[in-house]
Structure 1
């Protein structure tokens, strides 16, 4: 069980040009602690040479045209939207299923459940699912907003929608998705899970609640499971952003609980990165650390799910 801190890397110019306060305020805004007007008002108090308020706000707000590393038309994958029964959640749910083209009932593969942030199944998360399928995993990314019509096309509305839903039912939708993957006719029965922000919390939670289903968990800047930590059987690979005070403040107690329960885990802290550094649609993105974290995640799943 180790906690590792990376050597510092150079960030893209767009990131270095924005004061840290702006990233902190965006984090508050993205997690509902302040409204958009307050966020923009605070940005207006900054003195940023050569950058206007609209430029800074635009850099922090996701531009999903940038978030496609694997095309939905990639010849090596087959992607579709799939509805499924969710008796532990909202009764009926839907997600984005991506399968490697060479995988079938006679040539099975391990599966990875992908959990989105607090705003529904956006294009960035869909691309993460495609990236996993591209390297050989069945990937499934549920949309918590399906009971309300699905991700609405913008994060502000998606965030507001997700806040109205019962968190226990959202967790149930993802638990039933994990069961779907375990029992899928193309699946080996080995299931991993990766999640970002709220999805990181879901990853920790399902590892605790479904120890016989989740065989490996990779939460990115996610808060701890609230209970049943003693039930976790699967190895965890946890990824944290050094400047993400809100989430990092929860880590010491969670680490103590993981140690106390002999959970096999490795935690990485990526220097000078902000919450959301893996998301390539905003200025929070740190390419070098995002690629390092992602390569580690893929290797972790290959080691734990393909053995």
Structure 2
């Protein structure tokens, strides 16, 4: 009984820590003047929960499909989506843990972010592909959209963003934040959209694959343009949003936002 109480207390403390870590993102969302809504996108016999944010603009806008990190659709991912809308773009952030089980129907249903992460790695690649294709088709037809769609992904989502470009020829760009690239030359050969990479200097696990990716993309005649930000680590976009962020992560985050806006302004 004592051990059970100790374990429960540890889980509770970790939960509070996770909640506190997202406090800045929640505040940003609560203070936002922009319109937020949840929609369900049909994907075969599944429904994908999506968080949608609209910009305060008078013209139709490009739609950015925001692919979350390996802990699911978190408050920070929603906060990033809101920041995209602040920059003038429609953001659609799908929860790829939608319908995981009868008990866990979306990311927020999981007891902890570790549980969400473990579930994410159980997803079938085909299901992820089908869900993202369905979301792209939805995004391309949004009445407030201009028909252009881009993918922006982080960590696990960064890898998915790169892969998205290998099987969906309707994307206008793929922005990959510290995610790995497909290793198949045939998959690389299917890419139509330009791919833009964003990496932190202190992320050797991901960065070690960049030379091979660059070589394959160049040989296939594909656009692969990337930046490596000095002193930044993995997940620097999320960490750089935190008011207590390190100087390097914050600088990398700010420079990346400038680059995001420059890229999207050309689409």
TM range (shorter): 0.7 to 0.9
Residue 91 in 1 paired to residue 31 in 2?
no
TM-score, with length taken from structure 2: 0.82
**Mapped partners of 2:150, 2:26: distance in 1:** 22
If asked which structure has higher relative contact order (CA below 8 Å, sep 6+), I would say: 1
How many residue pairs get aligned? The number is 240
C-alpha separation in 2, matches of 1:287 and 1:207? 28
In 2, are the aligned partners of 1:207 and 1:214 still within 8 Å (CA)? yes
CA distance in 2, matches of 1:295, 1:72: 24
Mapped pair 1:121 → 2:73: yes
What do residues 222-275 of structure 1 show as CA deviations (whole Å, max 9, x unaligned)?
110344211222222211111211111221111111101122232111122211
Query: Which residue among 118, 124, 130 is the counterpart of 1:172?
Result: 130
CA distance in 1, matches of 2:121, 2:190: 28
TM-score where L is the length of structure 1: 0.72
1:92 Cα deviation (Å)?
1.6
**Structure 1: gaps of 5 or more residues:** 1-53
- Map of 2:140 onto structure 1: 182
Supply the distance in 1 between the matched residues of 2:258 and 2:126 (Cα, whole angstroms). 32
Listed as ranges, the gaps of 5+ residues in structure 2 are 1-12
- Say if 2:110 is the partner of 1:151: no
RMSD of aligned residue pairs (Cα, Å): 2.3
Aligned mates of 2:27, 2:229 — CA distance in 1: 22
The secondary structure found in structure 2 opposite 1:214 is coil
- The verdict on how the C-alpha distance between 1:72 and 1:137 changes in structure 2, with shifts beyond 3 A counting, is farther
Counterpart Cα distance in 2 of 1:278 and 1:69: 17
Runs of 4+ deviating beyond 6 Å: none
Asked if the contact 1:72–1:130 (Cα under 8 Å) also holds between the matched residues in 2, the reply is no
Aligned to 2:155: 197
State how far apart, in whole Å, the 1-side matches of 2:118 and 2:31 are: 31
Counterpart of 1:245 in structure 2 is 204
Give the C-alpha shift of residue 200 in structure 1.
Answer: 0.6
Q: Using the alignment, how far apart are the partners of 1:170 and 1:260 within structure 2?
A: 28
